[in-house]
Structure 1
Amino acid sequence: MDKQKILIVDHDLLVISELAGFLWDEPYEICLAGYGVEGLEILRQEEIDLAVVELHVEGIDGITLLKHVKEEKIQTAMLIMTSLRSAELGEQLIKAGAASVFDKPIERDVFLTQVKRYMPPRDMWKTRFEVFLEDHYSNPDLKFEDVMRYFRFSKSHGYALFKKHLGKAFRESLRKVRIEKAKLLIEETPLPIFEIAAHCGFRSSSRLNEAFKRLYGMSPRAYRQKEDIRVRN
């Protein structure tokens, strides 16, 4: 199972070394960046679950980094650390998108508590995608753009996230859910095949036939007849 990823962004190598040391025995993959620009590129290219960023990191500071994360719809929990915090600054950072703000120097127990509190659940995206498909599979016009709007992420990041957590691209995942729902209705109801097709988001019974045959090696009608014989016996 892939480890969840934490990104640490700070121009102070001693701080980076200390925080990485705190995480040494924890079940995370650690990514490091000494400049804000470098940190932003990692956030764009990798699926980072949680980032710990120095507010005044060189290159792109923490507030600017938060702005990019929000505008580019990067799905990463952002923790900001600073030695110059005020109540007003803390409020500003939270409004800008930080999950939490904490003070330097950082004690090990405090740091690990923050990380564990704001680290997203491992299967969060898998569950959220599955629930979305369950709620929307009957819509024949459903497109990946609808997923993007619903979850507010970019197209490239969304495709990668979806495939990683469901193991398949959006179209294939949606088709599988629709076929499984159709199979259940074939087994448990006397509904005509064309009604089952419409209920499950297929534009016609022929499209259901094609998809069903590809997965089960027979048409929905043949499958129903086979199930009827099995039940009678």
Structure 2
Amino acid sequence: MKTLLIVDDEPRTRLGIQKTLAAWSAGRHRIEIAASGVEALSWLNANQAHIIITDVRMPEIDGLQMLEALAARGPLPVVIVISGHAEFEYAKRALQLGAFDYILKPLDKGILIGTVERAFELVSGRDRLDAMEKLVDPKLLEVNRDEARYGTAIKDAIGYIYEHLHEAIGMKQVAEQLHLNASYFSVLFKEQTGMTFSDYLTRIRLQKAKELLVATQSPVWEIAEKVGYQTDKYFIKVFKDNEGLSPRQYRQQAADTDPSIQ
């Protein structure tokens, strides 16, 4: 469930926005309120907001100062700024600081809802990008980029791993295919690629698994077999240990591509 935080020191405006968006959301989103920039920053210390709607003129910490404080912490949530005509320069400054859009007072319910819908589309787009970025293992990219300078044995080993990924292969088996001593091959692999054979094999298997989770509807047990795991239970454990979520959760996250809010 995505969270939207409303920040406004005027109770009537704050509660009016909350009531309008609660009716529109119909329970699909978590809608929180804060009566000041100070209260909002305190709340955000312990909670995540995907979208923030904030007034620019507030006592103690105004909307712009809140934006600056949030930007200093890391990537901004999607921020919608509320301003009056006389405060338009504030709104422009907010956009320069990274705000998504602004709405002029007095607030029109249709414009408010339309802007929030577009904001949620942006949140969904960010989620998809995050999921796609997680598909790519930076260590594997580094290994592939440097492959041209590897010796013949390591190039052949990498090729063999890709061809036999669906099998329960291990370092000893690959070393035998190359007619090398397993201990020597282990040292050589680490020396040239910068990672152990075991780490490389796990990363390759998980990379392929993530691609299959996103691109197909194959059941998890079948994907486990395709990437060389003999049991789906062990595959799920390895996946969760490395990715922080289960294969099923990963697939659900990556498949959340519907940009509409109905």
Report the TM range for the smaller structure's normalisation: 0.5 to 0.7
Cα distance 1:126–1:115, how it changes in 2: closer, same or farther (>3 A)? closer
Q: How far does the alpha carbon of each residue in 1:138-166 deviate from its partner, in whole angstroms, 9 at most, with x for none?
A: 0479xxxxxxxxxxxxxxxxxxxxxxxxx
> Mapping of 1:108-187 within 5 angstroms?
108-120=109-121, 123-135=124-136, 136-139=138-141, 186-187=165-166
Unaligned runs of 5+ in 2: 144-160, 179-185, 206-223, 232-262
Alignment correspondent of 1:7 = 5
Give per-residue Cα distances to partners, 1:25-69, cap 9 Å, x unaligned: 212211110011111122332221111101112221011011112
- Which TM-score applies when normalising by structure 1? 0.60
Q: CA deviation at 1:185?
A: 5.2
Instruction: Find the aligned partners of 1:137 and 1:126 in 2 and give their Cα distance.
Output: 22
Equivalent in the alignment of 1:83: 84
For residues 35 and 17 of structure 1, the distance between their equivalents in structure 2, rounded to whole angstroms, comes to 13
The answer for the alignment partner of 1:230 in structure 2 is none
Structure-2 separation of matches of 1:187 and 1:222: 10
Verify the 8 A CA contact 2:54 2:63 in the aligned structure 1: yes
Match of residue 51 from structure 2? 50
Q: Percent identity?
A: 15
Output the TM-score relative to the length of structure 2.
0.54
Structure 2 counterpart of 1:33, which letter?
A
Selected match of 2:197 from 192, 205, 226: 205
Q: Which has the higher helix share?
A: 2
Question: In 2, distance between residues paired with 1:7 and 1:210?
Answer: 41
State the alpha-carbon separation in 1 of the partners of residues 126 and 111 from structure 2. 27
Residue type of the alignment partner of 2:165: I
Rg (Cα) greater in structure: 2
- Match for residue 17 of structure 1? 15
Listed as ranges, the gaps of 5+ residues in structure 1 are 142-181, 224-233
Amino acid aligned to 1:37: V
Alpha-carbon distance, 1:87 to partner? 5.1
Tell me the CA shift for residue 73 of structure 1: 1.2
Q: Is 68-77 or 123-132 further displaced after alignment?
A: 123-132
CA distance in 2, matches of 1:105, 1:222: 63
Shift of 1:108: 0.9
Residues 36-47 of structure 1 correspond to what in structure 2 (within 5 A)?
36-47=37-48
Q: How many residues get paired?
A: 172
